[in-house]
């Protein structure tokens, strides 16, 4: 059990309260200003360094994305999109992809293993791999396609928002290293305020649809983006416009769980009480002898 210095707001597959005596905790957030990102990938390197991750060296597939996808060893990846929002005017949108740390995390809701996924009071959603059983339900629950199962140990991994650093008052490694200040970290409230200033600036520079990406469908996120084209988030390598936990997942891990469990329990009880009231269905003794 890591990081007991942080209060826990929610814990996977747990029906009793989690440790939460510490009182008011500030919700944190990482703000990624895409308009300031130059795609240097220093954040990817810092992430590898701090978390001791070394992904396999892959192959160039003709785009700048390297590695081409998130893996159990690559918890953040720069996604490069070349778009023409205004015809004839090429824009290179570079989005740092990784866990969004949803306020309503689909992974945590889907996880069947107690304590394999926790949500700290500060908003960070963290995987505790020692409790992970490798079922992949977190992947099924995630609206952003983030968690990855490791081929090495069969456990799921993703960005921790450097919960180990944040717990001792440091910013995440990617924030620390970003050379342009495109990634900032602090109280979520402050980050929203900072984003508003950035959006006002972008609007004054002609980006009329600039805005903050903090999708309400998942209760807001603890990783937010400043987008030049907030009206079309899908331009940014398919960032979902209105993400939410799939209704199939909600049904499966929502009402179905208690109702089905109750149903099975009642069936067993019905049998028991039928037996002790109506009695067994026996063939009479004398019938056995006359046959």
Partner 1 sequence: MSAPLVPRYSPRDRANHWVIAISFILLAVSGLALFHPAFFFLSNLLGGGTWTRILHPFIGVVLMLSFAAFALRLAPDNRITAADREWKKHLPKILRNEPVTLPKIGKYNIGQKYLFWSLVVLIPLLFITGIVIWQPWFAPYFSVGLIRLAVLLHAAAAFLAILAIIIHIYSAIWTKGSIRAMTRGTVTAAWAKHHHPAWYEEVSRSR
Residues 143 and 250: their CA atoms lie apart, in Å, by 12
Among 20, 26, 145, 208, binds partner 1 (CB under 8 A): 145
Handedness of CA 219, 224, 227, 232 (dihedral sign): negative
DSSP 11: E
Measured from the CB atom, is 21 or 283 closer to partner 1? 283
Q: Distances in Å between the alpha carbon of 162 and those of 50, 51, 125, 271?
A: 8, 8, 10, 53
The mark string for 248-267 relative to partner 1 (x by CB under 8 A, - otherwise) is xx-xx---xxx-xx-xx--x
**Of 7-15, 78-86, 95-103, 169-177, which part binds partner 1 (CB under 8 A)?**
7-15
279 part of the interface to partner 1, by CB under 8 A: yes
Residue closer to partner 1 (CB basis): 186 or 217: 217
| 22, 54, 151, 193: which one binds partner 1 (CB under 8 A) | 151
Collapse the DSSP code of 124 into the 3-class scheme (helix H, G, I; strand E, B; otherwise coil) and give the result. Answer: coil
68 makes contact with partner 1 (CB under 8 A): no
Provide the token pair at 65: 């994305």
| Angle value at C-alpha 122, between 118 and 123, nearest 5 degrees | 55
**25 near partner 1, judged by CB under 8 A:** no
Contact range with partner 1 by CB under 8 A, out of 8-16, 51-59, 86-94, 182-190: 8-16
Quick check: 100 and 123 in contact, CB under 8 A? no
CB of 245 to partner 1, least distance (A): 10
DSSP letter string, 153-201: TS-EE---TTHHHHTTTPPPHHHHH-TTS-EEEEEHHHHHHHHHHHHHH
Residue 152 Cβ, how far from partner 1 at the closest point, in Å? Answer: 11
**Residue 289 binds partner 1 (CB under 8 A):** yes
Q: Is 282 in the site for partner 1 (CB under 8 A)?
A: yes
Q: Residue 136 interacts with partner 1 (CB under 8 A)?
A: yes
Residue 112 makes contact with partner 1 by CB under 8 A: yes
Distance in angstroms (rounded) separating the CA atoms of residues 96 and 226:
11
Q: Does 278 bind partner 1 (CB under 8 A)?
A: yes
Q: 145 or 208, CB closer to partner 1?
A: 145
Q: Is 234 in the site for partner 1 (CB under 8 A)?
A: no
Least distance to partner 1, CB of residue 151, Å: 7
Q: Is 73 in the site for partner 1 (CB under 8 A)?
A: no
Q: Residues 6-41, buried b or exposed e (16+ Cβ, 10 A)?
A: bbbbbbbbbeeeeeeeeeeeebbbbbbbbbebebeb
1 touching partner 1, by CB under 8 A:
no
Number of neighbouring beta carbons within 10 Å of residue 3? 17
Residues of this chain that bind partner 1 (CB under 8 A):
13-15, 112-114, 131-137, 139-140, 145, 149, 151, 154, 246, 248-249, 251-252, 256-258, 260-261, 263-264, 267-268, 271, 274-275, 278-284, 287-289, 291
């Amino acid at each position: 059990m890591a990081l007991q210095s942080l209060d826990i707001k929610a814990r996977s597959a747990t029906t009793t309260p989690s440790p939460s005596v510490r009182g008011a905790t500030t919700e944190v957030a990482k703000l990624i200003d895409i308009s300031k990102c130059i795609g240097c990938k220093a954040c990817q390197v810092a992430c590898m360094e701090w978390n001791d991750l070394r992904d396999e060296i892959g192959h160039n597939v003709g785009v700048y994305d390297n590695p081409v996808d998130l893996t159990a060893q690559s918890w953040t990846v720069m996604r490069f999109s070349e778009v023409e929002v205004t015809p004839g005017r090429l824009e290179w949108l570079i989005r740092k992809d990784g866990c969004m740390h949803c306020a309503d995390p689909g992974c945590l809701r889907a996880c069947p293993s107690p304590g394999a996924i926790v949500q700290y009071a500060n908003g960070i959603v963290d995987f505790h791999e020692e409790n992970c059983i490798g079922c992949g339900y977190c992947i099924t629950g995630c609206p952003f396609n983030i968690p990855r199962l490791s081929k090495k140990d069969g456990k799921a991994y993703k960005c921790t928002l450097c919960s180990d650093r944040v717990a001792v008052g440091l910013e995440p490694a990617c924030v620390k290293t970003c050379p342009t200040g495109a990634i900032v970290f602090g109280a979520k409230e402050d980050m929203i305020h900072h984003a508003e200033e950035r959006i006002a600036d972008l609007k004054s520079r002609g980006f009329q649809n600039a805005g903050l990406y903090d999708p309400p469908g998942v209760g807001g996120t603890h990783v937010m983006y400043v987008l030049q084209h907030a009206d079309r988030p899908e331009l940014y390598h398919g960032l979902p416009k209105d993400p939410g936990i799939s209704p199939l997942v909600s049904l499966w891990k929502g009402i179905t769980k208690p109702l089905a469990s109750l149903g099975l329990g009642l069936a067993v009880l019905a049998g028991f009480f039928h037996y002790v009231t109506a009695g067994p269905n026996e063939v009479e003794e004398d019938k056995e002898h006359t046959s």
